[in-house]
Structure 1
Amino acid sequence: MSAAERLPFHDSALSTRKRIDDLLGRLTLDERIAMLHQYSPAVPRLGIAAFRTGSESLHGVAWLGLATVFPQAVGLGATWDEELVRRVAEATSVEQRAFHYHRPTMIGTGRGPNSLQAWAPVLNLLRDPRWGRNEEGYSEDPVHTARIGVAFCRGLTGDHHRFLRTAPVLKHFLAYNNEDDRCVTSSALRPRVLQEYDLAAFRPVVASGAATGAMAAYNLVNGRPCHVTPLIETELRRWAEPTGHELFVVSDAEAPSNLVDPEHYFDDHAESHAAALKAGIDSFTDHGEDSATPFGRLREALDRGLIDEADVNRAVRRQLEIRFRLGEFDPDLDPYAGIGPEVIDCAEHRALALQAATESVVLLRNTGLLPLDATRARRIAVIGPLADTLCEDWYSGTLPYQVTVADGLEAVLGDHDGEVVVADGADRVALRSRTSGELLGKTVFDVVDWGDGVLTFRSVENGRYLSLKRDDGSLAADQEQIKSWDVAETFRLVPVDDSVLFQNVLTGRYAVVDPVDGRVSVTAETPDAAERWEHELLRDGTAEALAAAVSSDVAVVVLGNHPLIHGRETEDRKGIALPPSQDSLLRAVAGVRRETALVVMSSYPYALDWADEHLPAVVWTSHGGQETGRALAAVLLGQAEPSGRLPQTWYRADDELPDPLDYDVIKAGWTYQYHRTPPLYPFGHGLSYTGFAHRDLVLSSATVTQDASVDVSVTLTNTGLRPGSEVVQLYVRALDARYEAPRLRLADFRKVGLAAGASRVLTFRLPADALSHWDVATGAFTVDPGHYEVLVARSAENVVLTAPLTVVGPAPSPRALVGHRVLAVDFDDYSAATIVDATRTTGDAVTPAEPGSASATLLFRSADLSGAVRVEAEIASDNGDPGERLEFWTDEGLLAEIPVPATGGRYEWTTASAELAVPAAGVHDLRVVLHGTFRLTGFRFSATG
């Protein structure tokens, strides 16, 4: 565009707001509506390029080819190192810029360069270790998650005063922690859980100004889909207001369509898209590159009056602000223009990947076997399905190279004239057709059992995975990695008499052999139609592993998960036990080689009771990326300190975990804060090769007012003979709470490296609001006066120092009920109740969790009922059965009973009332009992009839 054609929105001297106003005014309405799709088209007449929201950047640039692969997010969380995480994100964003400038877009053509909007980090809390996407989050704790999240966002954005290097988008808002039926399940969050737990992970990151956007989650919260939740505006965007920037909120893939099918929350797509736009969704990731369908729905919504032009403009304005901040309209001022393609997987990023992988390793148990001495452990057997392979997960880039555990150990031992012997524990088998006599795939396979009978077959000839071709049902051993949305590389062998059937897990179909040409296809729908295969064991994998262990000085058994098998996006784990085949391999090896170290390489915790009792050493790492093996070798051989600490609780095998859909961390007993059974390995746990002493815990004051702070100091000393790192963890707990308080709660932490014998005084600023809880009576955070403890700990179960702290201030008053509307969800405790939506757009209601069975009870503690003579309740009921009623009780008996009338539907509300049996007086615990299937959103006591 010539200088004469330059328009005001090109003028970098103008404020961004004025430039956006100018550009917005030049776009036609249809052009603006088109910009609401993920693939925003170019506007050639204005010289505006196409724009695509979102590149996956969780632990390195994903889906665009070879790129530096850092440890999974849960591994980054295990480092507890904010500066390291910031540097990882910085490297990721630099590579994302390189892809943007120098590599074509991965999907489609003519859609412009790869996006500079980074869909990361994931701030969902790791409440349940069975969550299929456990690998994507940082920890189970909101303070830890928020701190690591801020660091990652700052690394992505860069520190330029005007331009973003990339624009981070927080995932996934909100309370998303199950994959099974994720698009139709509802996470019931009472206000305390909502405010103290789930929102607490997002709030500090948004308030810091480091985040530029957020992505709504697939699930529902309190009966309402996250894509239409009012929390986008009332919470997310409210937190961002002081930063001077609005958040650009995007949908998750296909989630706008889910509002109609499968959620059936709205009757048609025009209505659902309108509701999402008005709720705050600015970009619709729906129908892939088919912009026409979402455009048509939004255009129809506009024509029907469901949205207006102002709704469209508001969303487009937020997109344009991001694009201006990314420098799209100021190419001459672009501070990142010099980034070249050579930064992708450069030497600096490789070194950083090694550091991140090393710092993420957690030493769970050690009775002296580790660190290994390379001059004495001359021969090491590396055993197990992950001994000599690395895995990619769904959100990782393509590994530019792989340093496996075997590779890493071999490189070090080779310098000491030692050796590594590898035994993956896989059986080598031949499957021969009884029809043709030919081998399946014309080869023999090494078979790995990942649990639940799910197997992978790797060709001995080329080392590649056997894969189903879904277009014709044929098979080919042609996959170097298992990495696709629909995993076609997993199979089952189904015993039938003296033969087996060969079944694909994805399709459920069985292999058959064409009697004419002998071609194998996996097309049979039933076992009766399937081919019978003779199963011949050519090599016993366990026997080979035992031979390797017996002939070696030490055995390192590397077990864990494949990130695309059992526990992944769309699939939760059923339990936390190791696959039986892995467990039996471990026990067998330990039975012949006492010097056995277990390395768990996994996306999530396992129950390792037997290993903890019988093995001298247990180590955990996430799937740590390209440098995993070098990092583990450094830790195992003592070249590096095991400085990682667990970001979530590792439970015992016999610990009955709550139901995956029970999101009430308080009542269900989730995480270290509320779990009542001692875990195997607690949150924050991690051993060291050196020793640390904590002493002289000093508070600047023994008392604090409700709006003040105290300084907390502690002296840390490395008492060992080698340098090391310690994570000093500062917790707090209430000693005499009037509410169900956490057992303890993380308030601060710091990772510190010390030379042998060195000491350092650490100081923390502890604000009183670190002691706060959400007061349901006032609808705000409050710090109760009373007695608290400040704790310095090495983990949530290993407290080393405590100090008392007293909060002074006015005592909380009883809950005033008379003349005040009380929200039903603002209960102190409950039984057999669940939370649902009051309307499709706003408000919560309570209803019995199991309609037709036991009644639901809500408890409101310390309620002042003085002078109350009447109560009225806001009720919605589909049917108004004669037995449906609402009761109000105190310790003195039944106060009132309200028959529930039919209102015509769950969103049709009416007010029903009753006189109290006798006038109420004084402060009582009030119980509200719901009998029936109706909904209650609020009630009010009055002093007059």
Structure 2
Amino acid sequence: MGKSLELVLALLLSSTVTPLAAAQPVPGTLGDTAATPEVRAQDIVSRMTLEEKAAQLGHTAPAIPRLGVPEYNWWNEGLHGVARAGIATVFPQAIGMAATWDTALLAKVGNTVATEFRAKFLERRLPDGGSEFYRGLTVWSPNINIFRDPRWGRGQETYGEDPYLSGRLGIAYIAGLQGNDPRIFKVIATSKHFAVHSGPESNRHREDVYPNPYDLEDTYLPAFRATVTEGKVQSVMCVYNAVNGVPGCASTMLMDDILRKSWGFGGYVVSDCGAAANIYRPDALHYTKTAPEGVAVGIKAGMDLICGDYRNKMTTDADSIVTAVKTGLLPQATVDRALERLFVARVRLGLFDPKLPFAEITAKDYDTPAHHAMSRKMAEESMVLLKNDGGLLPIKGDPRTIAVIGPNADSIDALVGNYYGTPSKPVTVLDGIRARYPKAKIVYAQGTGLIGPAEVPVPDAALCVDAACATKGLKAEYFAGTDLAGPATRTETLPNARLDWSGDRETSARWTGTLVAPTSGSYGFRFASENGYRVFVGDKLVVDEWGVGDAPSILTGTITLEKGRRYPIRVEGVQRGARSSQQLVWSIPGAGGDDAVAAAKAADLTIFVGGLSARIEGEEMRVQAPGFAGGDRTSLDLPAPQQALLDRLTATGKPLVLVLMNGSALAVNRADKTVPAIVEAWYPGGEGGHAVAGMLAGDFSPAGRLPVTFYKSADQLPAFTDYSMKGRTYRYFAGETLYPFGHGLSYTRFAYAAPTLSTTRVGADGKVNVSVTISNVGARDGDEVVQLYVAHPGAQNAPIRSLARFERVHLKKGETRRVSFTLDARALSLVDAKGVRRLTPGTVKLWIGGGQPGGRGGLPSVAGVATELKVDGQAMLPR
């Protein structure tokens, strides 16, 4: 979609400010800041009727004017910045931020995002003091599910495949979001999705997962445990799927036995959106026969807040809760317990205080230059240099002509990933290269689409309002509601099916007219929209992506047209969120990439920017292309149209750089053999183009490290639906990888001296200090990510190796620094077949280096050193 359209939408959204009226008086102790949050919550709950209580247990909690309780919408998304609330600073997608291995920077990002949430809350605060959709202070992030399989479309939302890395990064982001005031939270973070959730997307509402006790304790729970016991996260989201035969949002084992009793969690549990309905829906898990039974078992198990979704018309089951209480299925005391947890959270956000906390934050404190600078810094740190044969990078000198080619070169979609805000000044890779090399001739050719031919906007000249083509444009009709029903609220004539809605939710539009084909052949049509769409040409429904959610795919339909012939055309679009931009695009006959090849032949350097986007990998989507299914992937290969063009560019013999933008691993085996330099840029956020260009130019030395394994093929992996960890991730995969977990090259070199241990034999506490000296022995300044791995040779149920500690350090050219890590019993422990974690006697091998030990053909040796220690003590660790 066009950048100008995105910006118009964003400006419309961000310019709407609702003045705040005085909040309603609050009876009792709810507004008494001298009372504890628990007392304040208990008092207000005691004053509610059963019907009022039930309504408050949904994400759209209505106002209770008689009690001075304002409306509050709990649903807000903050995966990598404020999402779905108009203009905001967009940071790199979560998987990209994970590639920085920089907890300190991620905590700063979290704090910045929290500031923007506070600003957005103030910008559109309701007259009664409450909040609307996507404007609250309860944030459903981070996603700390383990990215166990690269085929999962939502893996981009996670911090990768390693439990320890995911936990440390989750703790950092939560600390930034929630702040360090023990009394008042800046925002409330949510660890999701608890637990054992990672696809497939197509079956997530019906999937019943049976992890063995070992994998549950060793892989699926540690990151959640860390964010609860160390990160003090105040909210946890339960999953769509069932675990061991019980829906996650009805699981006493997960929400009570583990979360509350074992880990001491004191916050509230929110359902994933629609997951409460999954408990009883016949087309989902159907664990109970009726809705009242379903909400009763969920709330009794520990679910406190119900998020609805589009499948169940956003219902939050208030009537079912009332019925469940009145029929004895659900004790009212259990309802009160859930409500008190929710009101404690609102109290600790300062929402009932006479004066809001964080008074220094204003409604304009978002999308600031300082925030942009932090987004760029995070994007720079996320860049992973996968390959650099012959030192092609950094770019030498000032090339006279640079060919920038590929479907992601000028794509905003490829900057933002999913769950995103609207960048006010998005910098694509093409923009970044133009800015970095202002004197060079930059030749741009898309060459191909992501999974099909290149798509361009349908020109205004091809569209007419009437069959006789006396008037150019299309007739536009707008409707209240999402089903095009009833009389149009307004009509107008537009040059094209192109519009930016100004933040209206639950609306729809229809554009009608005549299309004249400029040439004969097969055309592909798509409506580039943030929500659902349909395109009819002649009497054919060419493409139907009406959908039910927020994120449509890149679904395209084809039709054969004759040159000069006039065809009736009808385009329909729906708006469900406060962010939407529409544009009719097509692929035209004969668009085969010849222009891209010609550009490469005439250039000194070619930069191919390809990969994926959140329009083809993501949450429950329709994509009709080989290698994709339901938002997930069936193949790890670069999509065939991109590979075909990349092969042609390689054949030109010109210097070639491949820049990948994606949220999951790609098996770029052919490129690894033929392309001299390959960069993994992820979905790098609003400033991403500057970061990519700066890295290529050598303005900084790359130091990103892979948070996931890049396999050679999906055929190396077990079935996607198999939740056993055997043969998955670097910890259990024994085959040859394309690029291993922890891999990343630099423009400088580092050397490690022999490590020092505080003791070579440890007791039951497992305590040992490991120190190592690192020197930058290269020709320039740079960052190194020091990684400490542990291995238990010969032990049963032991991973090949596990990341135990890490630190990102900056070293100037010639600088030497000592880095120290402290290991403990948990870091040195193993999990037995019954899921019990123990410290056991034996030998533990340690590796400290810039990646995992060893390597493979074509990759340089990893700098690092090895040592070992003996564990003499033994202990059983708490869950």
Structure 1 length-normalised TM: 0.75
- Offset of residue 481 of structure 1: 9.3
1:147 corresponding residue in structure 2: 168
The residue that corresponds to 1:664 in the other structure is 724
Q: Deviations over 1:410-449 (max 9, x none)?
A: 11211xx32211111045799999xx9999x989xxxxxx
- Note the 1:466-505 alignment, pairs <5 A: 482=528, 484-486=530-532, 503-504=542-543
- Change over 3 Å in CA distance of 1:23–1:271 after alignment to 2: same
**Comparing 373-382 with 317-326, which one deviates more in the overlay?**
373-382
Partner residue, 1:550: 601
Aligned position for 1:735? 793
CA deviation string 1:327-377 (max 9, x = no partner): 012132x33133113211001101011101111110000013443446342
Matched, 1:506 2:526: no
Contact 1:785 1:811 survives alignment (8 Å): no
Question: For the residues of structure 1 that align with 2:657 and 2:728, how far apart are their CA atoms?
Answer: 30
Pick the aligned partner of 1:302 from 310, 325, 329: 325
- Which residue of 2 is the match for residue 916 of structure 1? none
Match of 2:340? 317
Question: Compared with structure 1, are the counterparts of its residues 652 and 536 closer, same or farther at alpha carbon in structure 2 (3 Å cutoff)?
Answer: closer
1:13 aligns to 2:73 (yes or no): no
1:616-765 counterparts in 2 under 5 A? 616-653=676-713, 655-666=715-726, 669-737=727-795, 739-765=796-822
Aligned residues: 762
Whole-angstrom CA distance in 2 between matches of 1:615 and 1:2: 62
Change (3 A) 1:476 1:193: farther
DSSP 3-state at the match of 2:174: helix
Measured after TM superposition, the shift of residue 520 of structure 1 is 2.3
Whether the 8 Å contact between 1:424 and 1:541 is mirrored in structure 2 is no
Q: Of 307, 312, 324, which residue of structure 2 is paired with 1:285?
A: 307
Q: Is 1:101–2:150 an aligned residue pair?
A: no
Are the structure 2 counterparts of residues 505 and 562 from structure 1 closer, same or farther at C-alpha, using a change threshold of 3 Å? farther
Distance 1:30 1:376, change over 3 A: closer
Partner residue, 1:520: 569
For the Cα contact (< 8 Å) 1:361–1:644, is it kept in 2? yes
Contact kept? 1:549, 1:593, Cα under 8 Å = no
Taking the aligned partners of 1:238 and 1:339, their CA distance within structure 2 comes to: 37
Helix, strand or coil for the counterpart of 2:30? helix
Question: Hey, what does 2:158 align to over in structure 1?
Answer: 137
Of residues 664, 668, 673, the one that matches 1:613 is 673
Contact residue 26 and residue 67 of structure 2 kept, 8 A: no
Distance 1:156 1:110, change over 3 A: closer
User: Using a 3 Å threshold, how does the CA distance of structure 1 residues 68 and 596 change in structure 2: closer, same or farther?
Assistant: same
Aligned partner letter, 2:870: T
Structure 1 residue 484 displacement after superposition: 3.2
**Number of the residue aligned with 2:477:** none
Supply the distance in 2 between the matched residues of 1:103 and 1:32 (Cα, whole angstroms).
26
What secondary structure is seen at the aligned counterpart in 1 of 2:202? coil
Instruction: Compare 642-651 and 261-270 and name the one that shifted more.
Output: 261-270
CA spacing shift, 1:625–1:8, aligned 2, 3 Å: same
Structure 1 equivalent of residue 193 of structure 2: 172
Task: Give 1:575 deviation, angstroms.
Answer: 1.1
Aligned partner of residue 145 in structure 2, secondary structure? coil
Segment drifting more, 554-563 vs 220-229: 220-229
> Residue in 2 aligned with 1:348?
370
Question: Larger Cα Rg: Structure 1 or Structure 2?
Answer: 1
Q: Look up the match of 1:358.
A: 380
Residue of structure 2 in register with 1:409 after alignment = 433
Closer, same or farther: CA 623–680 of 1 in aligned 2, 3 Å: same
* Deviation per residue, 1:377-398 (Å, 9 max, x gap): 2321111111122214330011
8 Å CA contact 1:123–1:146 kept in 2: the answer is yes
Note closer, same or farther for the CA distance 1:408–1:509 as it changes in structure 2 (3 Å cut): closer
TM-score normalized with structure 2 length: 0.80
Gaps of 5+ in 1: 444-460, 494-498, 524-534, 813-945
> Identity of paired residues, percent?
35
Higher relative contact order (CA 8 A, sep 6+): 2
Aligned to 2:839: 783
Partner residue of 2:420?
396
- CA gap of 1:518–1:180, structure 2 versus 1, over 3 A, is closer
Corresponding letter in the other structure for 2:387:
R
Is 1:655–1:677's contact at 8 Å kept on the other side of the alignment?
Answer: no
Higher strand share: 1
- Shift, 1:753, TM fit: 0.5
Q: Is the 8 A contact 2:711 2:737 kept in 1?
A: yes
1:765-785 CA-partner distances (Å, limit 9, x unpaired): 0113212122345x5311221
Amino acid paired to 1:216: C
Offset, 1:405: 1.0
Contact 1:127 1:670 in 2 (8 A): yes
CA–CA separation in structure 1 for the residues paired with 2:298 and 2:156: 29
**1:540-939 alignment, distance < 5 Å:** 540-570=591-621, 571-653=631-713, 655-666=715-726, 669-737=727-795, 739-776=796-833, 780-798=836-854, 800-809=864-873
Equivalent residues of 2:54, 2:319 under 8 A apart: no
Output the CA distance in 2 between the equivalents of 1:31 and 1:471.
36
Once residues 120 and 619 of structure 1 are traced to their aligned partners in structure 2, the CA distance between those partners, rounded to angstroms, is 28
**Distance of 2:70 and 2:473 partners within structure 1:** 51
**Hey, what's the Cα distance between the residues in 1 that align with 2:67 and 2:180?**
30
> Is the 1:513–1:519 contact (alpha carbons within 8 Å) kept by the matching residues of 2?
no
Q: How does 1:333-482 map to 2 (within 5 A)?
A: 334-373=356-395, 375-391=397-413, 392-414=416-438, 417-426=439-448, 482=528
Instruction: Provide closer, same or farther for how the CA distance between residues 517 and 554 of structure 1 changes in structure 2, counting only shifts above 3 A.
Output: closer
Answer yes or no: is 1:82 the counterpart of 2:84. no
Deviation at 1:202, TM superposition (A): 0.5
Give per-residue Cα distances to partners, 1:11-65, cap 9 Å, x unaligned.
2122222222322222233222221111112121221111221210110111111
CA deviations over 1:604-638 (Å, ceiling 9, x no partner): 11101111111110001111111111000000000
Matched-pair contact (CA < 8 Å) for 1:512–1:520: no
Cα deviation, residue 470, structure 1: 8.5
- What is the root-mean-square deviation of aligned Cα atoms in Å? 3.6
Once residues 582 and 510 of structure 1 are traced to their aligned partners in structure 2, the CA distance between those partners, rounded to angstroms, is 19
Residue by residue over 1:703-758, the C-alpha shift from the partner in whole angstroms, topping out at 9 and shown as x without a partner, is 11132310001111101110000100000010121x23111000010001100010
Q: Is the 8 A contact 2:145 2:192 kept in 1?
A: yes
Instruction: Give the counterpart of 2:272 among 232, 243, 252.
Output: 252
- Aligned-residue offset at 1:791: 1.0
- Corresponding letter in the other structure for 2:782: G
Cα 1:540–1:8 shift into 2, 3 Å: closer
Do the aligned partners of residues 170 and 658 (structure 1) sit closer, same or farther apart at CA in structure 2, a change above 3 Å counting? same
Change (3 A) 1:481 1:325: farther
Residue 49 (str. 1) matches residue 49 (str. 2): no
